[in-house]
Amino acid sequence: MTERHDAVEVVVTKRDGGVLSDAQIDWVVDAYTRGVVADEQMSALAMAILLNGMTRGEISRWTAAMIASGERMDFSGLSRPTADKHSTGGVGDKITLPLAPLVAACGVAVPQLSGRGLGHTGGTLDKLEAIPGWRADLGNEEILAQLEDVGAVVCAAGSGLAPADKKLYSLRDVTGTVESIPLIASSIMSKKIAEGTGALVLDVKVGSGAFMKHVGAARELAETMVALGTDAGVTTVALLTDMSTPLGRTAGNGLEVAESVDVLAGGGPADVVDLTLALAREMLRGAGVDDVDPADRLADGSAMDVWRRMVRAQGGDPDAPMPAAKETHTVRAESDGVLTRLDAMAVGLAAWRLGAGRARKEDPVQAAAGVVMHAKPGDRVTAGQDLLTLHTDEPERFERALDALDGGVEVAADDTSYTPVPLVIDRVAG
């Protein structure tokens, strides 16, 4: 057991810009998990960390303490290497759905322990739960068996992984302390390292629909996470990718599943296909597999085969049609020109207000709610053409969704005010 400390002394050290000792970090994380340090004391410490930062050494120790608060999974007995991907969250980010079966079809097992959405970004589990019968909660034995048999599993992270983070994340959510790079990096990496993956690819989103609005902050977060992973023996790489506009042409649970199935069938929007392939190549490289081109596995249908087995293994029906919304509302172009802006945050908020997301973690989500985008930035449009279709089961939600889109969609006479942003902005390796 760690030596005893006093919560106030730890808070004061950080409040005054000091560096926390290993013993202080070990004690405060453990004592908070056990309920010995009170929420108000941890809130003060989180705010002091947000304001004064942490050294790399402190972040590394904090992450280790959060990992030590719970269990660690062990995939070393599997017959193939493992690789996982984590996205910091974006609008229309359904990449996990085609990516996990694609990488499995290339011979690497993908243990993707995921969360539900909060706020304007969707959660992978919410999307998959739009498939009739699909089950997110699996025990550790089921996870291992599915990884060996099917090669990919996307399921809820059990409560045993980094319980300190679960408690701290809920507290940060209600105390204005989410946006701290040391706290975000240690939160994400404690769960991923405890999960036991051999290789990890981080998709760090940048832009209006992301946590990190600017490339500089995103790069700092990426570098911090890559260093944490590398130090823990996990081969870790990060891609900084654009989230100024939504990914693909759909935002909303069932709508995104349908789009992912299109990608697995060899179609789908180019940005979703390109990012899926870019992340798949990084995962394969991290796992030491360099003789398979994931584009071939997408084209020959083997990724689709793994998807169908993966859905079935978790009780879902891969042939069931996605639920359809009871009501739709179409937004049309008012003039001829070029779509110069389709803001990720605006579309994410609209989808959320239509019922695709939740305000509190216990809220239900609508499987069919969301936004379909008929044009993307840079496309020419004509007056009266459909730009967006809003989907919901509750028509009283349209008004607030349309408010969210106000100012987020712009058509200009020509493309002089439109600057395309590359999908993959940068790569950060250890």
Q: Which residues bind ligand URA (CB under 6 A)?
A: 169, 178, 183-184, 187-188
Set 167, 172, 219, 353: catalytic member: 172
Set 43, 69, 87, 187: catalytic member: 187
Q: Is 5 a known active-site residue? A: no
Of the pair 285, 358, the CB lying nearest ligand URA is at 358
Q: How far is the CB of 187 from ligand URA (least distance, A)?
A: 3
> Taking the mean position of all CA atoms in its chain, how far away is CA 241?
12
The token pair at 321 is 């049609």
Of the pair 226, 263, the CB lying nearest ligand URA is at 226
CA torsion sign, 312 to 318 to 320 to 323? positive
Q: How far is the CB of 183 from ligand URA (least distance, A)?
A: 6
Q: How far is the CB of 186 from ligand URA (least distance, A)?
A: 8
Q: Is 170 a known active-site residue? A: no
Inter-residue contact 316 to 136 (CB < 8 Å): no
The residues facing 205 across adjacent strands are 241
Q: Write 261-270 long-range contacts (CB < 8 A, 24+).
A: 261/304, 261/307, 263/98, 263/298, 264/98, 264/101, 264/102, 264/298, 264/303, 264/304, 264/307, 265/304, 266/298, 266/299, 266/301, 268/98, 269/376
Of the pair 168, 251, the CB lying nearest ligand URA is at 168
Of the pair 169, 307, the CB lying nearest ligand URA is at 169
The token pair at 303 is 């990724």
Taking the C-alpha atoms of residue 48 and residue 43, their distance in angstroms, rounded to an integer, is: 9
Q: What angle do CA 290, 87, 81 make, to 5 degrees?
A: 35
Q: Is 309 a known active-site residue? A: no
Q: Is 172 a known active-site residue? A: yes
Set 86, 167, 249, 397: catalytic member: 86
Q: How far is the CB of 25 from ligand URA (least distance, A)?
A: 17
Taking the C-alpha atoms of residue 263 and residue 245, their distance in angstroms, rounded to an integer, is: 19
Set 191, 249, 297, 309: catalytic member: 191
CA torsion sign, 159 to 160 to 163 to 169? negative
Q: How far is the CB of 328 from ligand URA (least distance, A)?
A: 32
Of the pair 187, 197, the CB lying nearest ligand URA is at 187
Inter-residue contact 110 to 140 (CB < 8 Å): no
Q: Is 94 a known active-site residue? A: no
Q: Which residue number has the CB closest to ligand URA?
A: 187
Q: What burial letters (b/e) apply to 227-257, b meaning 16+ CB within 10 Å?
A: bbbebbebbbbbbbbbbbbbbbbbbbbbbbb
The token pair at 390 is 């809003």
Set 165, 242, 262, 271: catalytic member: 165
For the annotated catalytic residues, the residue numbers are 86, 165, 172, 187, 191
